[in-house]
Structure 1
């Protein structure tokens, strides 16, 4: 049961986060009824649109993989074109503040606490409404972003689409990146059904950007039902492969952009971001686009620290992309994978996808009710024909073991979960303070 009283307005952010974690009886409780009512009480939303004298435009991004990459590229591109942009993404890696970015900077503790105070006032008004941790965080983020005088918001859907808290906002442009099996306990394993759920962010008459040429037909079916103009990769826009002079973005309704730099993130996502930004009225400037792509960064996505590469990919589709990028990198020594996964993920599928790029495995355990034991994960690796060199109780312990055995020619992939990557990013080895 939660405490009888919420934290005080002067309480630290950690106390507020702990309060929201305890408040609702379940961690995930999909539906828009509760969060919509509290948003209305806060004055955040009016008839599906953000309230306020000068509400910002909104791009909402859903999908199984590529949401974070697309959102980060969108924010960098918008900023490079002179827009004041804010974004809301989840989960975070090290600090909760990473979820809310205001004009290039994470929201401060004070801003987030002020938002949570307002959310709690609205929630507790009669009749009292219970909110999940994610619902409260989404409302807090929207409150912070709406009061920051921004031009554009980039909102990443947390889970699914149709019933996700982010979907209380009618987006000016809605993006679906990819569709694959993940979160089966909530979305099931039927790809057509998953596609319909993700496409639930589409709105009548508002552009829908499809960021993959392999989406199930159900996504375009929803767009047609909503009469949402559809812009699909491979049809309305496209991109070339990397070449010596970069890559190119092509679209039906505008000039091509040539010789673009590799952002270090999937090029399909970069092209999707360019198309979405153009649809909110941004006149794409070639020089600004090139600079934004050079400057974009996203922690935990093919993030290199010396010989260590950290990537949060935790399903087979994401793992296959990582394996392809890793295989293209010269490494005369061993190719290690430090792998830690949650128990509700497709470990065998991830391992099979990574296996062509990995020679040796270190399996690590993750704490918490959803954590998978290192030995159980090792059994999955062995079942896929992999060579397990060590099992450790935690990502930190696994990294310590590896540090004593790596040669100058070895590389290490850290993968399998936000929790695995976040644990190591918090350590001094990767610039953290833990």
Structure 2
């Protein structure tokens, strides 16, 4: 790590981060004033390329990766902006599905830092600075497309300054209720603010009251809405721990697709990306190639087959239930779970979702300032009917204990937090994540 890059990280870490600080420090009021001013002062680079904007509760990161790889295979230069990161902050800003260099991130952050100048640190948050840096870097490196994942919600998310050609709404469920509202309709309302006038909107299958919100926003914006399950669909042909094959159906046509990543839940995410690509005029062969080439770290990520070890960042009720369902689908139950959860997540439904698929559950820290005390989680698990409950404060020690309990036979699952998954990946010698084969 160069001295200049170390200074960049120190600067970023000095700023308020909702991901890191929300549990111990009241977040600033969310608005778009700071990001709008920052971008205006550097020439509004986000207006120099086409944008696909993605919001949702579950699946938006995977969808962004799938679509970015499709565009890359089609010959376009594509920037991808995602959050949070697993190991390295540079994962958040990718060019052609590879994280940017230390020097490029340093250049971009320095541009934004110079614009902020002597203003107090409260002027812009970690996420706002990094968003502005990403948009500047995409312009500087002359990308054709930017695939942009919203960070939190939609309406006042810093990414919502873009005028997207396509908005993708992935599965919506209960998460970040303290900021977005305590019902799915309220959350859908916030996220639907990414829909722009005369754009294309592509939605995952949703509950009736949720899709009604998305439909209403689309109508008011004169946007064309396409919904998975009605306007296009997918049929799973085969699925194993080595990948999934499915058939995408659209406009009385079909397209056979193979994913090299596990998880039946990824079929809908991949279908959203594929349908967006079709709307952009991308040829089917590039869609197939891009999807097959895609890797989705920390999303049902297999790092071993003997024993089976799955790393999954499932950190809300919908993703916890999806993980439990996938483990059952692949006959990976009962499993040994290593779990760490961060505030302010509602840990009760997350843990409860894993009761049917658990043999042992080990609660540990997440190396985050927002982590729930593992003993608090363990107490709830015992009250909920879990039989074999342990607490091991050190994440990698907890993982080692799980391997001892497995005896190379019982499946091991690490879940509950992106931070925890990152710690385990580093512990087994993986220093960076990959989004492409």
Once the two structures are TM-superposed, the CA of residue 430 in structure 1 deviates from its matched residue by 4.8
Distance 1:313-1:22 versus aligned 2 partners, 3 A rule: closer
What is residue 376 of structure 1 aligned with on the other side? 376
Q: Paired residues, what number? A: 414
Identify if the C-alpha distance between structure 1 residues 151 and 133 changes in structure 2 by more than 3 Å, giving closer, same or farther. same
1:89-238 matches, within 5 Å, as 89-124=82-117, 130-214=123-207, 216=210, 217-238=212-233
Q: What is aligned with 1:4?
A: none
> 1:26, 1:132 within 8 Å by CA — same for their partners in 2?
no
User: Matched residues in 2 for 1:345 and 1:22: separation?
Assistant: 16
> CA RMSD for the aligned pairs?
2.5
CA 1:11/1:416 → structure 2, altered by over 3 Å: closer, same or farther? closer
Where do 4+ consecutive residues of structure 1 move more than 4 Å?
Answer: 8-11, 21-28, 125-129
**Structure 1 range deviating more: 192-201 or 342-351:** 342-351
**Residue of structure 1 in register with 2:81 after alignment:** 88
**Counterpart of 1:256 in 2: which secondary structure?**
strand
Residue range with higher mean Cα deviation, 9-18 or 147-156: 9-18
Alpha-carbon distance in 2 for matches of 1:230, 1:10: 43
2:430 paired with 1:431: yes
Q: 1:419 to 1:368 in 2, by over 3 A?
A: closer
Pairwise CA distance, 1:127? 10
User: Does the C-alpha gap of structure 1 residues 117 and 9 become closer, same or farther in structure 2, counting only changes over 3 Å?
Assistant: farther
Q: Secondary structure at the match of 2:14?
A: helix
Q: Is the 8 A contact 2:201 2:218 kept in 1?
A: yes
Change in Cα spacing, 1:284 to 1:315, as seen in structure 2 (3 Å) is: same
Does 169-178 or 323-332 show the bigger shift? 323-332
C-alpha spacing 1:111/1:83, structure 2 compared with 1 (3 Å): same
Structure 1 position 17 matched with structure 2 position 12: yes
| Cα shift readout 1:358-404 (whole Å, capped 9, x = no counterpart) | 22101112355421011101112123211233201132221122233
Q: For residues 89 and 153 of structure 1, what CA distance do their matches in structure 2 show?
A: 11
Partner-residue secondary structure (3-state), 1:299 = coil
| Mapped partners of 1:206, 1:28: distance in 2 | 31
TM-score norm. by structure 1 comes to: 0.89
Equivalent residue number for residue 278 of structure 2:
278
Distance in 2 separating the partners of 1:123 and 1:144:
17
**CA distance in 2 between partners of 1:387 and 1:128 (Å):** 48
CA 1:406–1:10 in 2, change beyond 3 Å: closer, same or farther? closer
Q: Does 1:44 align with 2:39?
A: no
Structure 1 distance, partners of 2:354, 2:172, is 19
Aligned to 2:320: 319
Say if 1:260 and 1:196 are closer, same or farther in 2 by CA, change over 3 A: same
> What whole-Å deviation, never above 9, does each CA across 1:264-307 have from its counterpart, x for those lacking one?
3511111111111222x23332x333322222101101011112
CA contact (8 A) 1:61 1:177 kept: yes
Instruction: Tell me, yes or no, if structure 1 residue 296 matches structure 2 residue 294.
Output: yes
SS at match of 1:13: helix
Question: Structure 2 vs 1, CA of residues 92 and 422 (structure 1 numbering), >3 Å: closer, same or farther?
Answer: same
CA drift of 1:318 comes to 0.6
Question: Match for residue 408 of structure 2?
Answer: 408
> For 1:331-342, what aligned pairs fall within 5 Å after superposition?
331=332, 334-342=334-342
Q: Which has the higher contact order (CA 8 A, sep 6+)?
A: 2
The aligned residue for residue 242 of structure 1 is 237
Gaps of 5+ in 1: 1-7
- Residues in 1 aligned to 2:286 and 2:392: alpha-carbon distance in whole angstroms: 46
